[in-house]
Structure 1
Amino acid sequence: MAKYNSNITFQSLNGETKVTVKHEGWKGSEEWEQAKEWHVQAWEQVLSSLKSKLESGEGALCCK
């Protein structure tokens, strides 16, 4: 079974919070590249929804 790590860090910058998501351990096959791209898109959606929710109360905290 392949292993990969997900690390999420939060950093305070000028009164805002920078969130960094880093996945490590991806392999080089086409199947892995597709899985990696899915994760990139999913994190973008989740973080965008989280930002909206925190700023305005209007975000849906899920991904499609």
Structure 2
Amino acid sequence: MTENVQLHQQIERLRGQMVETAAIQNTLLHGEVLQLSQSLDLLIVRVQEERLTRQRK
């Protein structure tokens, strides 16, 4: 499996965890939700950087 596919799967898994945790906690401001969101942001930025690198080649 390519790294890109793995990253997208990881992003979807984290997104699902974040949404579920926010629903359980009934807030987007809970520490665990924020932590998941930040982790998700890092992965999204990584995918975007890789996409830009491929486009420049």
Amino acid in the other structure paired with 1:38:
Q
How many residue pairs match? The answer is: 43
Amino acid in the other structure paired with 1:36:
L
Separation in structure 2 between the aligned mates of residue 38 and residue 52 of structure 1, nearest angstrom: 21
User: What TM-score results when the alignment is normalised by the length of structure 2?
Assistant: 0.50
Between the aligned residues of both structures, percent identity stands at 0
CA RMSD of aligned residues (A): 3.2
Runs of 5+ unmatched residues, structure 1: 1-7, 11-18, 58-64
Runs of 5+ unmatched residues, structure 2: none
User: What TM-score results when the alignment is normalised by the length of structure 1?
Assistant: 0.46
Amino acid in the other structure paired with 1:44:
I
Would the alpha carbon gap of residues 25 and 40 (structure 1) be closer, same or farther in structure 2, given more than 3 Å must change?
closer
Separation in structure 1 between the aligned mates of residue 50 and residue 33 of structure 2, nearest angstrom: 26
Greater Cα radius of gyration, structure 1 or 2: 1
Equivalent residue number for residue 56 of structure 1:
56
Residues 19-38 of structure 1 aligned to structure 2 (within 5 Å): 20=8, 21=10, 22-23=13-14, 28=21, 30-38=30-38
